[in-house]
Structure 1
């Protein structure tokens, strides 16, 4: 009987703990989303944001998305690789620009073309909904309260396992 009570207590604690984690993530997301809505209004939904990717192999990339009045108007991509000669210098291995009429015409190394509305939607419906038993979930807001990192990593994965987005910079477009 004592073992049954102990089991019930453990189950209740784990269920309560999960709910608190979910509520904390949801509150964090909502706070960040409200910061985004305020920025969106103040910038007339016109902004630039920059994402990045870095690998342990020395490869890295940066994608800059331009948005005017809620529509993607440009996408710039640069990929670099560290030299293996001990100098820590980088070589550009790919670089291109897309204007409004040519969005998504280059290989998808740059990731999905999303407005920040799309980023928040994907964060809410995909990245933050990953199975917590099998994944570690991340959500950070280092861009004046707006999303800076959101995604998940499969537990036990060792290299380049992040599935999500990392945003270095969000700034309004000045007209």
Structure 2
């Protein structure tokens, strides 16, 4: 009889634990940006935008330090596949604010794409949504300030976090600085 109760309690315990984690996840998905889209609404808007405009676009990921050092990676996607990746590293002049290019590359063939380690990975926007939910929105919201922002149309442009109390260059996540349909 004791084994029967143990066997019965195991699935019930699993259901209780998973429902708690599902509830916690639901709260994390409800984070909205100033345009009023939460993660699920943004992902649904992206799917509709992609359907309306085709699955060909380009976007840029900007990474920049308060010291003036930064980089920008531009990813071109055609029919849902990454076709090109461009990267520049730069330093912003303290004198006139101009960018001095310190490194660059261009990957234009299937064999080259992803070869370089510097820059944002060659992801589609769909990949970025997956990364957002799996790496950034799921962090402990009590220990981190979590950010999620979209365009007016609902496209995610910011998804990440900063550990509470961190002072400089603490943002971890996605920052899309430019997007356009092709």
Unmatched 5+ residue regions in structure 1?
Answer: 1-17
CA distance in 2, matches of 1:124, 1:95: 30
Deviation for aligned residue 1:88: 2.6
Report what 1:6 is aligned to: none
1:155 aligns with 2:161: no
CA distance in 1, matches of 2:170, 2:64: 11
Q: Map 1:83-162 onto structure 2 (within 5 A).
A: 83-84=93-94, 86-101=95-110, 102-106=112-116, 108-142=117-151, 144-162=153-171
Unmatched 5+ residue regions in structure 2?
Answer: 1-23
CA contact (8 A) 1:134 1:155 kept: yes
Deviation for aligned residue 1:53: 1.1
Report what 1:68 is aligned to: 78
CA contact (8 A) 1:76 1:98 kept: yes
Deviation for aligned residue 1:19: 8.6
Q: Please list every run of at least 4 consecutive aligned residues from structure 1 whose deviation after the TM superposition is greater than 4 angstroms.
A: 18-21
Report what 2:39 is aligned to: 29
Q: Secondary structure at the match of 2:137?
A: helix
Q: Secondary structure at the match of 1:158?
A: coil
Structure 1 residues 49 and 19: alpha-carbon distance in aligned structure 2, compared to 1, 3 A threshold: closer
Deviation for aligned residue 1:111: 2.0
Report what 1:9 is aligned to: none
Deviation for aligned residue 1:71: 0.7
Higher mean C-alpha deviation, range 87-96 or range 131-140: 87-96
* Structure having the larger proportion of residues in helix: 1
Report what 1:55 is aligned to: 65
CA distance in 2, matches of 1:42, 1:132: 35
**Residues paired across the two proteins, number:** 154
Deviation for aligned residue 1:143: 5.9
Q: Map 1:40-51 onto structure 2 (within 5 A).
A: 40-51=50-61
CA distance in 2, matches of 1:29, 1:78: 30
CA distance in 2, matches of 1:143, 1:100: 34
